[in-house]
Amino acid sequence: MKSFSYSFLLSLLIFILSACNTKTDFSLIQNMDLSVNPGDNFYQYANGKWLKETKLPDDRTFFSASTELSLKNQKKLLNLIPTNCCSKTNTAATKMS
């Protein structure tokens, strides 16, 4: 039974690696701890490197990969907004005149 489990996990890993074609997918693989046997501790195997390298920000009590992704997306979206679009002089009345 164990040989089936390990061969299945190995096949799954090969499938995941071959299916990865974006930066996001690749970053998920970079966060894996390949030194851990997935049959012993799959959570540590899948997230170990991220857990070791990521520090909890001072202003947060919780931080996850999805939180990190959300913050990066917020920064990117804020950079898309022109700086003058929200100024007090740029109102609908000013545009009409």
Question: Which of the two residues, 64 and 10, has the higher pLDDT score?
Answer: 64
What distance in Å separates the CA atoms of residue 97 and residue 94, rounded to the nearest whole number?
5
Q: Which of these, 31, 82, 79, lies nearest to 53 by C-alpha position?
A: 31
Under the banding of pLDDT at 50, 70 and 90, the label for residue 1 is: very low
pLDDT at 39: 93
**Entry pTM:** 0.46
Over residues 45-81, the pLDDT tens digits come to 988 998 898 888 888 788 887 888 888 888 888 888 7
Question: Could you write out the three-class secondary structure of 12-79?
Answer: HHHHHHHHCCCHHHHHHHHCCCCCCCCCCCHHHHHHHHHHHHCCCCCCCCCCCHHHHHHHHHHHHHHH
